[in-house]
Chain A
Amino acid sequence: MTRINLVVDGMRVADDIEPRMLLVQYLREKLGKTGTVVGCDTSNCGACTVHLDGRSVKSCNVLAVQADGSEVTTIEGLAQNGQLHPVQEAFRECHGLQCGFCTPGMIMQSVDLLKDNPKPTEEEIRLGIEGNLCRCTGYHNIVRAVQHASGQPVAPNEVTA
């Protein structure tokens, strides 16, 4: 067992864990933060994306011991004082989801993208979320949500009923 100390969503935590424990496992099974999900389990899909010391990572591909001494933000730590984060609001507003499974990772990666590039073009948005797979939406409403969150005009919906 190895002792780890870290800050998760603003809360200081310490635990004795097996070194082989993955960060995502630690978040879900030890801390009960099941908002972060495991999708592909092979570091392809990005559903498990969290922020580690301010940068997006795939938490199924990081050992919890590697996060010792670090600060982790999950989807559960984005809202402040009952107010959704602007990117969360934008995903709701633009309906940037269908089944919702990829959403936690999509939002965490979008927040990371907007931190580097507050006004991304559509292409930059698509490249910025290249490591996050969505099997429902075809990405259109996700891209619109990121445009909306960045205060840019949203591309019109080409599909008419």
Chain B
Amino acid sequence: MIPAPFDYVAPTSLDEALAALREHGDEAKILAGGQSLLPVLRMRLNAPEWIIDLGRIDSLRGIREEGDAIVIGAMTPHSVVGNDPLVAQHAGLISAAVERLADVQVRHRGTFGGALAHADPAGDLGGPARALGAVFVIAGAGGMRQVDADDFFVDLFETAIGEDEILVEVRIPKHTGWGSRYEKFVRVEHQWPICAVAATVRVEGGTVTGAGVGLTNMGSTPIRARGVEEALVGQPASAESFAAAAGRAVEGTNPPTDLNGSAEYRLHLAQVLTRRALAAAAGLGEG
């Protein structure tokens, strides 16, 4: 299948891209790496009149350290994020999730910001973004604004990015020294998770002193498992406390039923995977 005809523009600066977006409005669609958008266009699920390709804007690519955050440019390919030593050192949960995202070819082409802006509830990066409290930097006519991960994901394939706005970069608060684990349950390695749990924990002197847990494909948006986080902090880093906390992974979820499993099955999976993810993140093995 071939996409329906469209006009194409590839601006070389963010300002040009914003101007093109203002000019073409809702007739336009932004192209990042295209690994989700191109299949959508080819299956004719969407037929925009304009494609605005961000691939020629160098300033949207790259990873840097800035104070207490690691800043990832929206157009940075997954493969670059996955191999970056700064990300591995300060946001290991991102490295762990990127490694399991799709396949090698898709990771070469797909982008960190593109995947998050696409907001597929089964996307691999939403859970880690929520677990780590990522901050999204969005450019519009009025300049830049920041949106917390808790407010970024609005609904199925819908984010806080306005129609005339572009995601510029994602700031990941440093979690240096935290353990992390991305537990992805999937039939075929390169597919979207049936359910996934992103967990990062800080253990000091045998006690959990910090926890971030995000759930993927357990509702119309990635979910932050606050109940699990609350249940953990101050508890001993033991199999018992992880099992007890994992029971709260179902709170606030509304998982789908599809060919891969029922909602009930996913509610079960979320608890099992949370227990495993916490144990592995704390260095207790596979749980």
Contact = CB atoms under 8 A, between A and B. Distances in A.
Interface of A: 2, 18-22, 25, 41-44, 46, 49, 52, 55-58, 61-63, 65-66, 68, 109, 112-113, 127-132
24 contacts: A18-B5, A19-B5, A19-B6, A20-B6, A21-B2, A41-B1, A42-B39, A42-B42, A44-B190, A46-B103, A55-B79, A57-B105, A61-B35, A61-B109, A62-B34, A63-B31, A63-B38, A65-B53, A66-B53, A109-B105, A112-B104, A130-B103, A131-B104, A132-B103
Interface residues of B, number: 29
Given A20-B5, A41-B1, 16 more contacts: A19-B8, A21-B2, A43-B35, A44-B190, A57-B105, A57-B108, A61-B35, A61-B38, A62-B38, A62-B109, A63-B31, A66-B55, A129-B104, A130-B189, A131-B102, A131-B104
Nearest to A44: B190
A129 B1 CA distance: 25
B33 to A, nearest CB: 9
A18 B3 CA distance: 11
B128 to A, nearest CB: 20
Given A46-B105, A56-B108, A112-B104, A65 B8 contact: yes
A41 B7 CA distance: 23
Interface of B: 1-8, 10, 31, 34-35, 38-39, 41-42, 51, 53, 55, 79, 102-106, 108-109, 189-190
B24 to A, nearest CB: 14
Contacts of A127: 189
Contact of A58 (B10, B55, B106): B106
A68 B12 CA distance: 14
A55 B108 contact: yes
A62 B34 CA distance: 7
Nearest to A18: B5
B60 to A, nearest CB: 15
Contacts of A68: 10
Contacts of A43: 35, 38-39, 106
Contacts of B7: 19
A57 B51 contact: no
Contacts of A19: 5-8, 51
Contacts of B41: 20
A140 B31 CA distance: 38
Given A19-B6, A20-B5, A57-B109, A128 B104 contact: yes
A91 to B, nearest CB: 18
Contact of A130 (B35, B39, B51, B190): B190
A131 B106 contact: yes
Contacts of A42: 39, 42
A25 B3 CA distance: 12
